[in-house]
């Protein structure tokens, strides 16, 4: 049997469904019923998303967004351990506490590297298309077993802790997927084509340096809008890179591609649209300002973008 | 004449920029943008919902990386992982927050460059280990941190993980972005060796390290200044006992 990403969807769906039930049963919760509905709908997307008509899923997504916008995703007040108990654990376990935390990346890495060789009778054990994610899932299960063994806790307590953190993250947890969805809607609706059309029609690229500038800054700006350099690359490279930089000015396409994509990454550092990297960490680190991570990245991203303009202008025409 | 490009979907771009600038709830901004964009492209209402649904199903892999580690991390935090990480770094005399982050940046970039991108990450590395260690190192040096300074330091930890990942992974030949670039260029009739694309990414990666490491070098002095400012603005030096208790809880 192959361990595939679908199994991870069932696992995550199950955890979210339990989260929804625990929330519904929590009388102390600030937004008990609407939060429960929010996590319940999200659980359905993972458990039966593939079987439902897509328009229903779309309607569910709209309902989730409305619940979040109305402030309907609240926080529970699960019983915390006393500071003295925690201190006793720290004394008892010491550096052993690091072991399960480090087991996650370690198992993920081993799984990713050895996936090619793990097969029984020609059937791969790990889904070859999603080795990293499946290995991550495996790593988390191994680490959970290790953590339960060290701390003498049950996996049920693990799910309670997962719910505590899910609650603390709130709708920010769903935002990356919402933005991923938006990227696909943008490409279905032809936003990329329209942007490429506007840039190439209205900007005069007779000066080589202007063309370089348009490509680098365009990659960054388009990534800021789409939240993802992968979405910006085909648009800017198809619109400006290939016809102008390579076609008109005979630049080295390998340099163009490498620096173009890395200019897109500068845009990723600057945009709330890249929620997984910028907004979710702010929530995970309990920062009151959701844009705090972006603020810390702005000087690096802008300085690097300037470097990229000059690197591209120099190296592409060597 | 080629068929004219429909420019109306650009309305979606305007909506999302306006929405974020006016600080509406991001979930609301995204769903309204999706509906406006699809409508501007001439989709019927049921097709709009179907496009949203299809997109949401296709991107289910995105939250896995955050959701899966939560149970383990929560369990370890319950038993004091963050406190222990803070104490542990505090026992290393030469450690400062800035130096710790420079070392982490280098390690993150180098490991990502050889394809080991999963060695870092926000839920499994930054929240339980890196941020508490940076805070521990800063507290060992400067005493208890005011909340504002603590938050700023945490944001730098997340930023350092991002910079290290982004400008390391692109040097790895088998990375998805490089496959995407060479495939796209091949379709445009240009053959490029993936190895060359990876190599030409190195100068930018080096610049990224130099720029960000330079900023991290200055972080320790900046923290010191911010703490002094904070103490001056609150009128008196902060009560250490109370702050200590808060620090142990956070």
Per-residue confidence (pLDDT) for residue A59, from 0 to 100: 96
Over the stretch B52-78, which tens digit does the pLDDT of each residue have? 999 999 889 888 888 999 999 999 989
d(CA A254, CA A250): 12
Per-residue confidence (pLDDT) for residue B174, from 0 to 100: 67
Q: Is the pLDDT of residue B213 over 80?
A: yes
Report which secondary-structure segment, H or E, holds A124.
Answer: strand A123-124
d(CA A278, CA A268): 9
Per-residue confidence (pLDDT) for residue B2, from 0 to 100: 54
Per-residue confidence (pLDDT) for residue A209, from 0 to 100: 93
Choice between B186 and B250, residue whose per-residue pLDDT is larger:
B186
Helix segments in A70-130, DSSP class H: 83-93, 98-114
8 Å CB contact of A105 and B34 = no
Closest to A300 (Cβ–Cβ): which among B158, B192, B211? B211
C-beta separation of A15 from A162 below 8 A: yes
Chain B stretch 13-32, residues whose beta carbon is closer than 8 A to a beta carbon of chain A: 13, 16-17, 20, 24-28, 30-31
Q: Is the pLDDT of residue B159 over 80?
A: yes
Positive or negative CA dihedral for B116, B119, B123, B127? negative
The token pair that represents B4 in the structure block: 């004219």
**What is the model's pTM?**
0.85
The token pair that represents B186 in the structure block: 């091949």
d(CA A248, CA A205): 10
- Sequential pLDDT tens for chain A (318 residues): 788 889 999 999 999 999 999 999 988 888 889 999 999 999 999 999 999 999 999 999 999 999 999 998 988 777 778 888 888 888 888 889 889 988 988 888 888 888 778 888 778 888 887 888 888 899 999 999 999 999 999 999 999 999 989 988 889 899 888 988 888 888 888 887 787 788 778 887 788 999 999 999 999 998 998 888 887 888 888 888 988 899 889 999 999 999 999 999 999 999 988 988 999 999 999 999 999 999 999 999 999 999 999 999 999 998
8 Å CB contact of B55 and A55 = no
Coil, helix or strand at residue B191 = coil
The token pair that represents A129 in the structure block: 């298309």
B51 interfacial to chain A (CB closer than 8 Å): yes
C-beta separation of B105 from B163 below 8 A: yes
């Amino acid at each position: 049997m192959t361990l595939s990403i679908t199994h991870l969807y069932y696992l995550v769906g199950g955890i979210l469904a339990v989260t929804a039930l625990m929330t519904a049963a929590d009388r102390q919760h600030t937004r008990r019923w609407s939060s429960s509905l929010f996590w319940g709908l999200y659980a359905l997307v993972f458990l039966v998303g593939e079987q439902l008509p897509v328009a229903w899923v779309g309607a569910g997504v709209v309902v989730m967004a409305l619940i979040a916008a109305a402030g309907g995703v609240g926080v529970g007040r699960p019983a915390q351990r006393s500071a003295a108990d925690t201190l006793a654990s720290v004394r008892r376990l010491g550096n052993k506490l690091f072991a399960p935390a480090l087991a996650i990346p370690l198992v993920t890495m081993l799984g990713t590297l050895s996936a090619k060789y793990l097969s029984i009778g020609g059937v791969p054990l790990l889904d070859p298309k999603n080795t990293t994610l499946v290995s991550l899932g495996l790593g988390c299960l191994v680490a959970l077993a290790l953590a339960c063994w060290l701390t003498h806790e049950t996996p049920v307590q693990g799910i309670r802790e997962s719910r505590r953190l899910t609650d603390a993250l709130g709708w920010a947890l769903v935002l990356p997927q919402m933005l991923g969805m938006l990227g696909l809607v943008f490409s279905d609706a032809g936003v990329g084509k329209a942007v490429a059309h506007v840039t190439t029609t209205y900007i005069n690229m007779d000066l080589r340096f202007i063309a370089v500038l348009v490509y680098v800054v365009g990659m960054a700006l388009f990534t800021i809008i789409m939240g993802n350099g992968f979405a910006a690359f085909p648009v800017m490279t198809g619109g400006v890179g290939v016809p102008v930089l390579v076609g008109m000015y005979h630049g080295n396409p390998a340099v163009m591609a490498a620096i173009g994509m890395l200019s897109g990454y500068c845009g990723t550092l600057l945009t709330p649209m890249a929620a997984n990297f910028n907004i979710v960490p702010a929530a995970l680190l309990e920062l009151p300002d959701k844009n705090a991570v972006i603020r810390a990245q702005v000087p690096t991203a802008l300085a690097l973008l300037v470097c990229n303009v000059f690197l591209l202008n120099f190296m592409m025409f060597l | 004449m080629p068929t004219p490009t429909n420019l109306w979907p650009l309305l979606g771009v305007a909506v999302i920029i306006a929405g974020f600038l006016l600080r509406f709830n991001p979930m609301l901004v995204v769903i309204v943008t999706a509906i406006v964009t699809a409508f501007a492209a001439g989709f019927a209402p049921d097709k709009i919902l179907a496009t949203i649904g299809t997109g949401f199903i296709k991107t289910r892999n995105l939250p896995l990386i955050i959701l899966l580690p939560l149970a383990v991390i929560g369990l370890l935090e319950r038993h004091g992982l963050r406190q222990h990480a803070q104490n542990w770094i505090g026992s290393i005399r030469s450690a400062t927050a800035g130096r710790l982050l420079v070392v982490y940046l280098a390690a993150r970039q180098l490991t990502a460059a050889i394809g080991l991108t999963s060695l870092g990450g926000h839920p499994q590395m930054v929240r339980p280990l890196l941020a508490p260690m940076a805070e521990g190192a800063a507290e060992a040096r400067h005493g208890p941190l005011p909340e504002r300074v603590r938050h700023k330091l945490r944001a730098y930890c997340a930023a350092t993980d991002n910079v290290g990942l982004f400008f390391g992974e692109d040097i790895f030949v088998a990375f998805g972005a490089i496959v995407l670039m060479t495939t796209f260029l091949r379709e445009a009739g240009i053959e490029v060796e993936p190895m060359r694309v990876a190599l030409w990414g190195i100068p930018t990666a080096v610049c990224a390290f130099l720029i960000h490491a330079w900023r991290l070098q200055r972080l320790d002095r900046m923290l010191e200044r911010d703490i002094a400012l904070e103490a001056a603005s609150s009128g008196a030096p902060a009560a250490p006992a109370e702050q200590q208790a808060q620090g142990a809880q956070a």
